[in-house]
Amino acid sequence: MSDAVRSGGMDAFASLGDAVRGALSERGFTTPTEPQRRAIPPLAAGENALVIAPTGTGKTETAMLPVFDSLVRDGGPPEGIGALYVTPLRALNRDMQERLEWWGEYLDLDVQVRHGDTTDYQRSKQANDPPDVLVTTPETVQAMLTGKKLRAGLSDLRHVVVDEVHELAASKRGAQFTIAMERLRALAGDYQRIGLSATVGDPEEVGRFLTGDRGCEILEVDAGTNVHLDVVSPEVTQEDERLAGELATGADIASHVRVIRDIVREHESTLVFVNTRQTAEALGSRFKTLGEPVGIHHGSLSKDARIEVEEAFKAGEIDGLICTSSMELGIDVGRVDHVVQYNSPREVARLLQRVGRAGHRRGQTSYGTIITDHPDDTLEAMAIARRAAAGEVEDSGIHHASLDVVANQVVGLLMDFGELDAREAYELVTAAYPFDDLPEATFRDVVRELSSNRLVWIDEERDVLEKSGGTWQYYYRNLSMIPDEETYDVYDISSRRQIGTLDERFVVNFAAPGETFIQRGEMWRINDIDDEEGEVNVAPIEDPGGEVPSWTGQEIPVPRAVAAEVGEMRGVAEPQFAGGASAAAVAREFASRYRTDRRTAEAGLEQVERQVETGGPMPTDRRIVLEGQGRSITLNAAFGHEVNRTLGRLLSALVGQRTGSSVGMDADPYRVELEVPTKVDPGTIIEVLEETDPAHVEALLELALKHSDTLKFTLTHVAAKFGSLKPYQGNKRFGADRLMAALEDTPVFEEAIREVFHTELAVEETADLLADIQSGEVELVSAREPTPIGTGGRSSGREFLVPENADASVIETIRDRIMDDRVILLCVHCHDWHHKTKVRRVRETPRCPECESTRIAALNPWDEEAVAAVRADEKDDEQDRLTRRAFRAANLVQAHGKQAVIALAARGVGPQYAARIIGKLREDEDDFYRDILAQERQYARTQGFWD
């Protein structure tokens, strides 16, 4: 053992025995890192602990050196498994095994890995001759607990290390694993529990999650201290104008690509994080066009493709890697010296996880750059970067009293014990922290539901639970609490050609024989659905020429605290602009407070400055500004995704109830947009907000959710975890409505509601907001006209809630809305004239003022691409398609005048469907709008499910 180890590491390493200190010397460890200095002594003393420290500061060794020391001291390791190292990803298993094997070889400890891909031969070897240390996943622990030989091996367990514990704390997987840890305790007795994470906002709560509230040392090294962040909104240059042509994109996007390209070139190894797989592919294609050595990594790629690009990046064959959350957790890709976050990371924890991947050396600063492209995006990124530096991380969001987890683990307990006293089972489940306040009556309701589904047998006289015929099969089919997202292959029934896939959410909520949908730009009618084979057979319909809806995927929610800080920033800037301060002066002050430059701060404050110039009231964290235009009402509310989504659903339900009409709702972190009947104005919304009792919010939302696809889909997954689907499924597909009716008064329904409330909404915070509005703490103000902030949002995709039955008031609403919508009129004869106007202002027979032609295409108001396509001399395939669609629309308008314009202005109605709607013989004009509504309802039901 070297003197360096003795002197430099005496405080921490002196807690360890000679064998481990010898390994440290051999490995070249001279002084402990900060987490090691603080955590090794209590861990070596056997304390339970949560170690929170930035990525790259040696957390793995911090936890495992005391574990190794325990295993080699006092007569050596036990006969069975001495330690479990649990990670949430299989890829992390692979990395951890490689990282720990050296220590195992030096200390003569057997370190192995076990997960779903482990061979049967290796599994058998592990059962007969258990390793000293096993690296595994939460789901594999569930399987191991039921094997006779593996249970014997686990009975010697002394330590459980849980890596990336924040990832498990926020999920049902984690709630399930806390009961598994109690099952291990029942088998092996007390053992040491160690949690590792780079980012935890509520350490005490996660400590309770880890230990079952039995005491936990919190050993935290501030993640923000060694992080340097810059927020940059790129300025368009002349080079970007040139690059835009090469990349076939706008100059603004070209400027983003250029800035990222330059960062990658300036550094050895750069990770570029994006928020969606679509963005990863789109950005990756731009770099491929430029011939830059940049790869792509996301969850939709095959395992082999991911490993290949990881190895290429590690070997330096590529300089940059564009990735999603697939690279957030500590998969080893070698040394990273810079991280780019493209667009706001939406959460502080996410940013720290990502930027923490840079600077994997002792004491080294992690450098990161956030590239933004929109005022909301820029201010949000500035707020998140400041909060990251200050260590203001979001709470974990533990799933408390998740009933499908209880159901799953009751079955697991019977797999462990064969039979068990019901009271003992309850006490074991509630020893896990997420279930410590579960009422016994609720537990017994869950057990009765399991019994009715023949998964357990209840001996009522002895109050004992026993296995039943379905126990074994259920348990091994449900080792994981991750929802089984099935996909259905879609086949053209005539050619048997596979045309794509549909996800389960679509099939459960929408698909039925006779229904139609668009896939890859073509319209198909469903012939039949084969659930056993996972196939949907379809027949083609003549190309409708309508728009193909796009699915952006579920957005990462922006927390209330982040959105409120953006609101606060607006409130700080408002009086400065109002007092005549220049944009540069205000931006300079913000640049001194936030991690950005003056020009980026100025870009972020641009909407705020224009809001002041127009005289509109400023939406802040203490003021909601309502504005209306036609049938659209916007609440400018800086309260984050979940509160705004909850507020939007509540207002949709209550306004719909008052008017008897449907209400469309869309929410982003800074706005709630409502599409309302004509008689509703901002004053109505203010009345609803001021009159609704905050105590009734939860009950009102539960009623509103009963008609939502979100609840129906969640219910199908919860029902599967209860084993409840089978009785209702029979030989045919179950309907979601039928399932809901069958399960409404059961624990299954109760859990589905709880999950939607927990993951999608913020009921308590929204009730508090209503109370603040009614007390005057939050001000409600109406703007006279649309404001720059209100109209400048980033929409996440409108949820248009169309009614099932079209009564007179709905027909009037549809007519008024379409008349207030805008269209582009384009002459396809001379190509010179095009004009954007409201539908109500279109003449009965539209005519080109330049050439007098009546061949006028009516296009969507944002469809400038179609205008450019019609005018292009040489057209690519996409422009050719757009041109054909425009000519079909023009033929309709020439033949049917304004009626065609009205039909084409509706949502999801292209020329083909417009022709069908117009061509019907009808006596009543209302029937014309009923047919439009039917097509809009089809569009609204299906728009979220495209590949």
pLDDT over 90 (residue 98)? no
pLDDT over 70 (residue 526)? yes
Assigned token pair, 662? 């449907």
Across residues 707-723, what is the average pLDDT? 86
Among the residue ranges 161-170, 463-472, 746-755, 816-825, the one predicted with the least confidence is 816-825
pLDDT given at position 9 = 43
pLDDT given at position 94 = 66
Contact of 490 with 502, CB cutoff 8 Å: yes
Distance CA 627, CA 649 (A): 18
Nearest to 766 by CA among 686, 694, 669, 842: 694
Note the pLDDT tens digit of each residue in 206-219.
999 999 999 999 99
CA angle (60 as vertex; 59, 61 as ends), nearest 5: 95
Contact of 438 with 395, CB cutoff 8 Å: no
Assigned token pair, 413? 């307990």
pLDDT given at position 4 = 36
Residue 326 is given by DSSP the state: G
Note the pLDDT tens digit of each residue in 299-352.
656 667 778 888 899 899 999 999 988 776 666 677 888 999 999 999 999 998
Contact of 318 with 309, CB cutoff 8 Å: yes
Single-letter amino acid, residue 668: D
3 state DSSP class of 815: helix
Partners of 488 in the β-ladder = 502
Distance CA 584, CA 752 (A): 51
CA distances from 217 to 46, 52, 147, 201, 204 (A): 11, 11, 33, 16, 9
Note the pLDDT tens digit of each residue in 117-135.
777 888 888 889 999 999 9
pLDDT given at position 503 = 62
3 state DSSP class of 757: helix
CA distances from 930 to 632, 677, 943 (A): 21, 16, 20
Please, what is the end-to-end C-alpha distance for the chain in angstroms? 60
Question: Ramachandran region of residue 316, left (φ > 0), alpha (ψ -120 to 50) or beta?
Answer: left
Across residues 783-812, what is the average pLDDT? 58
Residue 435 is given by DSSP the state: G
Note the pLDDT tens digit of each residue in 259-309.
999 999 999 999 999 987 667 877 887 888 898 999 988 765 666 777 888
Distance CA 110, CA 132 (A): 5
pLDDT given at position 644 = 96
Contact of 566 with 638, CB cutoff 8 Å: yes
pLDDT over 60 (residue 251)? yes
Q: Within a 10 A sphere around the Cβ of 568, how many other Cβ atoms?
A: 16
Distance CA 275, CA 227 (A): 21
Note the pLDDT tens digit of each residue in 485-505.
666 777 877 777 776 666 665
Contact of 21 with 5, CB cutoff 8 Å: yes
Nearest to 336 by CA among 717, 56, 77: 56
Contact of 223 with 199, CB cutoff 8 Å: yes
Please state, for a pLDDT cut of 90, what percent of the chain lies above it.
52
Longest Cα–Cα distance in the chain: 99
pLDDT over 70 (residue 519)? no
| Sequence-separated contacts (24+) of 463-470 with Cβ below 8 Å | 463/421, 463/422, 463/423, 464/419, 464/420, 464/421, 464/422, 465/410, 465/413, 465/414, 465/419, 465/420, 465/421, 465/422, 465/425, 466/414, 466/418, 466/419, 467/414, 467/415, 467/418, 467/419, 470/723
Dihedral sign computed on CA atoms, order 33, 37, 39, 41: positive
pLDDT given at position 7 = 38
Contact of 554 with 759, CB cutoff 8 Å: no
Contact of 794 with 376, CB cutoff 8 Å: yes
Distance CA 223, CA 390 (A): 9
Q: Beta 294-297 vs 664-668: how paired, if at all?
A: unpaired
* 133 CB-near residues (< 8 Å, 6+ apart): 67, 68, 71, 81, 82, 83, 84, 85, 100, 104, 109, 110, 111, 112
Contact of 456 with 447, CB cutoff 8 Å: yes
Looking at per-residue pLDDT, the higher value among 11 and 13 belongs to: 13
Instruction: Provide the residue count of the chain.
Output: 947
Task: Read off the pLDDT band of 27 (50, 70, 90).
Answer: confident
Domains of the chain as residue ranges with CATH:
3-220 (3.40.50.300), 227-389 (3.40.50.300), 406-477 (1.10.10.10), 487-541 (no CATH), 620-791 (no CATH), 808-942 (no CATH)
pLDDT over 90 (residue 599)? yes
Average pLDDT, the chain: 85
Contact of 565 with 383, CB cutoff 8 Å: yes
Task: Read off the pLDDT band of 92 (50, 70, 90).
Answer: low
pLDDT given at position 246 = 84
pLDDT given at position 753 = 95
* 741 CB-near residues (< 8 Å, 6+ apart): none
pLDDT given at position 283 = 85
Looking at per-residue pLDDT, the higher value among 370 and 501 belongs to: 370
Note the pLDDT tens digit of each residue in 758-772.
998 999 999 999 999
